[in-house]
Amino acid sequence: GESVGLHLPTLSVQEGDNSIINCAYSNSASDYFIWYKQESGKGPQFIIDIRSNMDKRQGQRVTVLLNKTVKHLSLQIAATQPGDSAVYFCAENKAGTALIFGKGTTLSVSS
């Protein structure tokens, strides 16, 4: 079936390093992708999104890359901080009506 998954369930980095979180999607018809950050016990928080007509989009300390050829999405966080520790989810749009979420990657940042 259609699904969005993440390559690694956990990622541990040192403070100041750059982090890269990967995501593979299966529906080549998806036209919108989004990354969320979820802290323990809270609702997901929007980080950045990208449409299928783009390959790259940058925000504050974050960059999302989209490779439609291999159906791969990545989130890069520059100069990772302890406050970045959370679970990160990618999601793809399902026919413009609802998002399909992956299982998430837990990012742990040590100082």
Partner 1 sequence: DGGITQSPKYLFRKEGQNVTLSCEQNLNHDAMYWYRQDPGQGLRLIYYSQIVNDFQKGDIAEGYSVSREKKESFPLTVTSAQKNPTAFYLCASSASGYEQYFGPGTRLTVT
- Per-residue x/- track, 44-83, partner 1 (CB under 8 A): xxx--x----------------------------------
The CA distance from 52 to 47, in Å, is 17
Min dist CB 104 to partner 1, Å, is: 6
**Residue position matching structure tokens 């399902």:** 94
Total site size for partner 1, rule CB under 8 A: 22
Residue number, 15 or 47, with CB nearest to partner 1: 47
Q: Which is nearer to partner 1, 43 or 83 (CB)?
A: 43
* Amino acid code (one letter) for 44: P
Q: How far apart are CA 68 and CA 55, in angstroms?
A: 8
Sign of CA dihedral 48, 62, 70, 6: negative
Using CB under 8 A, pick the residue from 13, 20, 78, 99 that binds partner 1. Answer: 99
